[in-house]
Amino acid sequence: MPVALSVDLPAGTVVPARLPAGSVALWRSASGRPAASADRCPHRGMRLSHGFVRGEALSCIYHGWSYGQAGHCLRIPAHPRLAPPETIRVTTHRVEESDGLIWIAVGNPLSQPPRLTGFAPLRSLTVLAGVAAIEAAAGAKASLEGLLELSEDARNICLLLSAQDDGETLAHVLIKGEAGPADRVAASRTAESLRRKAEGLQKKEITQ
Note the residues at the interface with another protein (CB under 8 A).
4-5, 8, 10, 12-13, 15-16, 18, 23, 39-40, 42-47, 49-50, 52-55, 59-64, 74-84, 88, 123-126, 181, 184-185, 188-189, 192
Smallest gap from Cβ 120 to another protein, in A, equals: 13
Nearer to another protein, 53 or 95 (CB): 53
Nearer to another protein, 8 or 135 (CB): 8
Smallest gap from Cβ 164 to another protein, in A, equals: 11
Rg (C-alpha) for the chain, rounded Å, is 19
What are phi and psi for residue 73, nearest 5 degrees? Answer: -75, 130
Smallest gap from Cβ 69 to another protein, in A, equals: 16
Smallest gap from Cβ 111 to another protein, in A, equals: 26
Buried-state track 97-106, b at ≥16 Cβ within 10 A, e below 16: bebbbbbbee
Burial class (CB in 10 A: 0-12, 13-18, 19+), 78: exposed
CA gap 139, 28 in Å, rounded: 37
Nearer to another protein, 176 or 184 (CB): 184
CA angle 180, 185, 188 (to 5 degrees): 125
Nearer to another protein, 13 or 98 (CB): 13
Smallest gap from Cβ 32 to another protein, in A, equals: 15
Nearer to another protein, 54 or 106 (CB): 54
Q: Which helix (H) or strand (E) holds 103?
A: strand 101-104
**Crossing angle for the helix pair 181-207 and 131-138, to the nearest 10 degrees:** 120
